[in-house]
Amino acid sequence: MAGLSEKRVLPVGTDPSYEVNLGLALADLPAAISGLVAPPRQVRLVSDERVFALYGGDLVAGLRAAGYQVATDLVPPGEKSKTIPVWTDLMNRWAAEKVHRDDLVLALGGGVIGDLAGFAAASYVRGIRMVQVPTTLLAALDASVGGKTALNLPAGKNLVGAFKQPLAVFCPTETLASLSQTDWQNGLAELVKTAVLTDPALFDRLEAGPLTGTSPDLTAVLARAVGHKIRYVEADPCERGIRAHLNLGHTLAHAIEQASGHAIAHGHAVAIGLAFISRVAVNLGRLSPEDGDRIIRVLTAHGLPVTTGYDRATLLEAIQRDKKATAGGVRWILPVAIGSCIDYPVSYTDLPGFLEKGGLS
Ligand SMILES: NC(=O)c1ccc[n+]([C@@H]2O[C@H](COP(=O)([O-])OP(=O)(O)OC[C@H]3O[C@@H](n4cnc5c(N)ncnc54)[C@H](O)[C@@H]3O)[C@@H](O)[C@H]2O)c1
Ligand SMILES: O=C(O)C(=O)C[C@@H](O)[C@H](O)[C@H](O)COP(=O)(O)O
Ligand SMILES: [Zn+2]
């Protein structure tokens, strides 16, 4: 795929700072890692069984040839691996196998692996170095960058977590070629989110035709989206304010993921959440009906869902556990134009009416 061979390096000016390296070949990963953490050290390669079957063998061989001791921690694919019991197993294994603070965690996979391995790296011995190696579109343009890590609780999505910036993000874009169509679409949902949030020109690009694995501008678009994410993260690494705008569409999305028992994947839920909040914004008179229609058309053109089968009562409970909820109400992120969003606090009393404006009854 032509679009997958280009390279870009983007600096992230957090404390600590690091780089996002887009397009690094998987075969060059051991050398890149040895530039950061000199061997011999133990590398804990955390991955899911599907990703490891595709890419793990060569990577382990390369890391061993570079002088690292490599141990693998494999979990089943999917959201069910982002849980306390899986994390507990990981902690017990690391302790039993004498993982030390100067060892390295390498997260090879999608957002689930990045969040799980990231939280494990943040919590084990109060912090061990970690490198993110995203292999899904969603993780490449969003989850691997910015240091949010998370586990789900039975009560809700991402309710446990920590901020832990990685040592580096190495994104071997060649791996995106094996993604299923559904997982490609999950990444596109976060891309549409980014465009609606802050980039009208990117939105125009997506309106002109869906981004595919063979789009000649794939790396350029990826770099543009990552650049936006970096900007929000640098401005507000621990989400005290503006970073919450990256949560556009997510309050409803997380409630839908929870209500569906994670049968609806994050990206698809974000698409539904974006369509919902756009409808609300139009009904509040804050977004033009034309822009509302454009957002829903772009989501649909990218193969994404724009309606939910769940009713208001089912989603209300989870919405109140959103991390943007306070004692007084829920802070929503509302699009007011394509490329521009505002904070929009809604009291608990007004919440049912607000949800109704988005078509939930
Ligand atoms: N930390 C953050 O900032 C952040 C941002 C966005 C999303 N997230 C989280 O990320 C998760 C979703 O991430 P995701 O969509 O990457 O899901 P995922 O990690 O579950 O991956 C989706 C599927 O793709 C498979 N896969 C991964 N790479 C592949 C490849 N190269 N080829 C073929 N198959 C491959 C996996 O095995 C899995 O079945 C959610 O838990 C979400 O909450 C976190
Ligand atoms: O990086 C962020 O900040 C985001 O909000 C990015 C989101 O796409 C991502 O899904 C994130 O994990 C949501 O975080 P949460 O704080 O709402 O759990
Ligand atoms: Zn997200």
Helices (H), the chain: 29-34, 49-51, 57-65, 84-96, 111-123, 137-138, 181-198, 200-208, 218-235, 250-259, 266-283, 289-301, 312-319, 351-357
List the structure tokens of 102: 């100067």
Is pLDDT of 1 > 80? no
Is pLDDT of 212 > 70? yes
Whole-structure pTM over 0.95, yes or no? Answer: yes
Q: Which residue, by CA, sits nearest to atom 13 of ligand 2?
A: 247
CA 244 to chain centre: 14
C-alpha to C-alpha distances, 63 to 57, 59, 166, nearest whole angstrom: 10, 6, 19
* Euclidean distance between CA atoms 268 and 193, whole angstroms: 12
* Euclidean distance between CA atoms 46 and 112, whole angstroms: 11
Quote the ligand 2 centre to 247 CA distance (angstroms): 6
pLDDT tens for 334-352 read 999 999 999 999 999 999 9
C-alpha to C-alpha distances, 203 to 3, 114, 274, nearest whole angstrom: 19, 27, 14
The set of protein residues with a Cβ atom below 6 angstroms from ligand 1 is: 48, 50-51, 54, 77-79, 82, 109-113, 115, 135-136, 138-139, 142-143, 146, 148, 158, 175, 178-179, 183, 186, 266-267
Angle at 240 between CA 234 and CA 242, to 5 degrees: 60
Q: Please tell me which residue, 1 or 85, carries the higher pLDDT value.
A: 85
* Euclidean distance between CA atoms 334 and 353, whole angstroms: 15
pLDDT of 38: 92
Q: Which residue, by CA, sits nearest to atom 30 of ligand 1?
A: 179
Band (40; pLDDT cuts 50, 70, 90): confident
List the structure tokens of 126: 């109060």
List the structure tokens of 289: 């009906």
Closest ligand 2 atom, residue 146 Cα: 1
Measuring CA to CA, which residue among 259, 2, 250, 63 is closest to residue 143? 250
pLDDT tens for 253-262 read 999 999 999 9
Give φ, ψ of 170 to 5 degrees: -110, 115
Share of the chain above pLDDT 70, in %: 99
- Ligand nearest to C-alpha 171: 1
List the structure tokens of 19: 């780089």
pLDDT of 325: 94
* Euclidean distance between CA atoms 343 and 240, whole angstroms: 13
- Is the complex ipTM more than 0.85? yes
Is pLDDT of 210 > 80? yes
* Catalytic annotation present for 229: yes
* Catalytic annotation present for 239: yes
pLDDT of 6: 82
